[in-house]
Homo-oligomer: A and B are copies of this chain.
Amino acid sequence: MSIFRGEKISVEIFGESHSKKIGVNCTGFPKLKIDLEYLNKIMERRKPSKNAYSTSRKEPDEVNFTFGVNNGYIVDDYFSAEIENKNQRSGDYNNLYGKPRPSHADFTSFTKTGNLNFSGGGKFSGRMTAPLCIAGGIAKQYLEEKNIKIYSYVSQVGKVKGTSYLQSEITEEQILSKGENFALSNQVEMEEEIANAKINGDSVGAILECIVYNMPTGVGDGIFDGLESKIANLVYSIPAVKGIEFGSGFNLASMLGSQANDSLYYENGVVKTKTNNSGGINGGISNGMPITLRVAFRPTPSILKEQNTVDLVNKENTTIVIGGRHDSCVGIRAVPVLECAVALAILDETLK
């Protein structure tokens, strides 16, 4: 079980990639009416689709509230939800016994548990982001009802770059206009990049951006309790994430203070900043500007090409070929997951 114990909410994720069911227990959530259509849409976005860039496995991901929800309403300070794992084909992984897949959690989980049966990623599987999305989706709905809007999109796939907030200010309208696309621009080129990798039995990485609009001021706190700390903590819980930056992030390293500082000014009686290099956060606390962050997703480690690895049973070098069906760009399906992880962080801080 993986537990996020926030200041006000707790989120407990149970199950593994191939257990009969996976799910989430939540405490401290506001007693709202869950918009099931809204939640299912998030679950749907996380699901593999028929596109070139996603796995063809079926994961219906029907959310079953087993406690604390009545007629759609959260009626208890605790609720629990499950998803059945209908497609537990661990047979796909038989040839991997004792042979850890490179850059997966196979070898590292073995060093903790001694388990040599590497099937589907266990609790490290991307599958576990489904229960994360149940909790995070409800958090996101609540925030949206408070007018705090969280959007994510893909700004880079492999070598193909799309629109990024680093180049220009992005409005909510602009994001909404993307419709079902995952990117604000260059969606076709990105899909080609993924298709090319797939054809070669390979995979490709991505950068996702996330913007939180209408963020109230004064959320978060200093040092160990900063908003960046909490968001980073939750975002790094998404498998395949290898980097997170806020505002202008790593670009700030090559800037002068006079360029990087966000000048304050009054607009209709409200304090705003002219630029937003700080990504809406100063000293760990929100300043009222949109919170902006960028997240690096590594390429899916499961590729069809032959790879060098070790045989932990016979203690010798070997090679493996990973079968099964896998996303060629795990970052795509992570778009709603990132929104949900950020929503959980902001919900917990907002309720304080």
Contact = CB atoms under 8 A, between A and B. Distances in A.
A283 B237 contact: no
B307 A256 contact: no
Contacts of A3: 27, 224-225
Contacts of A266: 310, 315-317
Give the number of copies in the complex. Answer: 4
Given A266-B315, A285-B111, A249 B260 contact: no
A299 B257 contact: yes
Contacts of A124: 222-223, 283-284
Contacts of A222: 2, 105, 109, 122-124, 128
A34 to B, nearest CB: 17
Interface stretch (A9-17, A169-177, A178-186): A9-17
B298 A260 contact: yes
Contacts of A11: 224
A279 interface: yes
Interface string A121-133: 1111000100010
Contacts of A300: 257
A220 to B, nearest CB: 8
A192 to B, nearest CB: 14
Contacts of A315: 266, 269
A142 to B, nearest CB: 19
Contacts of A274: 308
Contacts of A256: 158, 197, 200, 202-204, 299
A102 B262 contact: yes
A58 interface: no
Given A252-B297, A265-B308, A257 B224 contact: no
Contacts of A225: 2-3
A26 to B, nearest CB: 10
A257 B107 contact: no
- Quick one: which of A233, A236, A241, A300 has the most chain B CB within 10 A? A236
B66 A207 contact: no
A303 B108 contact: no
Interface in A272-317: 273-274, 277-279, 281-288, 294, 296-303, 305, 307-310, 312, 315-317
A145 B12 CA distance: 30
Interface string A214-243: 000110111111101110111011010111
A163 to B, nearest CB: 15
A202 B258 contact: yes
A247 interface: yes
A63 B14 CA distance: 20
Contacts of A168: none
Interface string A242-260: 1111111111111111111
A109 B305 contact: no
Interface string A83-120: 00000000000000000101111111101100000000
Given A123-B223, A205-B254, A242-B279, 11 more contacts: A13-B223, A103-B262, A104-B282, A108-B286, A204-B255, A207-B253, A243-B246, A245-B245, A251-B296, A252-B299, A266-B310
